[in-house]
Chain A
Amino acid sequence: DTAVSQTPKYLVTQMGNDKSIKCEQNLGHDTMYWYKQDSKKFLKIMFSYNNKELIINETVPNRFSPKSPDKAHLNLHINSLELGDSAVYFCASSQGLAGGYNEQFFGPGTRLTVL
């Protein structure tokens, strides 16, 4: 069974379009994250949600809007796509925030290409 799944795997679209990436986890975790990996493989956190509440919101353009309908899902909607948005986007999940480190489990990634 896939623990953290993302759809679509690949997304090719024109500049200016609006698109969404979906993420689901079946691990029973209550915290989910979105990361962006650029062409140089650098991974940077964008958002995290705990029990559907936004916890981390890094300096990300407000064209990016995460939505968490329930604890098992965290979707990423991107408005007015720009060339610089081309990257691989990873979803991750973990159990809780309290105490020490809680292992984050990553999805397979969504490769977004903006033309």
Chain B
Amino acid sequence: GQQLNQSPQSMFIQEGEDVSMNCTSSSIFNTWLWYKQDPGEGPVLLIALYKAGELTSNGRLTAQFGITRKDSFLNISASIPSDVGIYFCAGQQYGNKLVFGAGTILRVKS
């Protein structure tokens, strides 16, 4: 089935550092999304990207929708301890169906 290739699988960084993660796909998606999942909770939407080439920010988060609609990256600037969690990219298909990447586990050393 459809798969999104998300990298890196995990990151262990120092507080204050910038973080970058990305997703690629062999298929085109209408919308790209970035979700964060805290331990014991469900995923929460961080950023939604609707147009090819679109660059969107949400506080310290910045994400871009690739021009080919097959990739996206998420940057987190000046990381803080509460950024810890699992970050998922997701692509939207028909019927609001989401296909998720495998996730990037982020750990922050304070």
- A residues contacting B by CB (< 8 A) are 4, 31, 40-45, 48, 50, 55-56, 59, 90, 92, 94, 97, 100-104, 106-109
Is B55 at the interface (CB under 8 A from chain A)? no
B residues within 8 Å of A by Cβ?
Answer: 1, 30-31, 33, 37, 40-45, 48, 50, 86, 88, 92, 95-100, 102-103, 105
CA distance A55 to B45 in the complex (A): 22
**21 intermolecular pairs with C-beta atoms under 8 Å apart:** A4-B42, A31-B96, A40-B102, A41-B105, A42-B103, A43-B43, A43-B103, A44-B100, A45-B97, A50-B95, A59-B1, A97-B95, A100-B31, A101-B96, A102-B96, A103-B45, A104-B98, A106-B42, A106-B43, A108-B41, A109-B41
Q: When A42-B103, A44-B100, A101-B96 are in contact, do A106 and B33 touch as well, CB less than 8 Å?
A: no
Measured CB to CB, the closest approach of chain A to B76, in angstroms, equals 19
Least distance between B109 CB and chain A CB atoms (Å): 21
Shortest distance between the CB of A100 and any CB in chain B (Å): 6
Query: Is B42 in contact with A107, judged by CB distance below 8 angstroms?
Result: yes
Closest to A111 in B: B40
Neighbouring A residues of B50 by C-beta, 8 Å: 100-101
**Contacting residues, chain A, for B1 (C-beta < 8 A):** 59
Which residue among B42, B45, B48, B98 has the maximum number of chain A CB atoms within 10 Å of its CB?
A: B42
B95 touches A55 (CB 8 A): yes
B30 touches A48 (CB 8 A): no
CB-CB under 8 A from A42, the residues of chain B are 100, 102-103
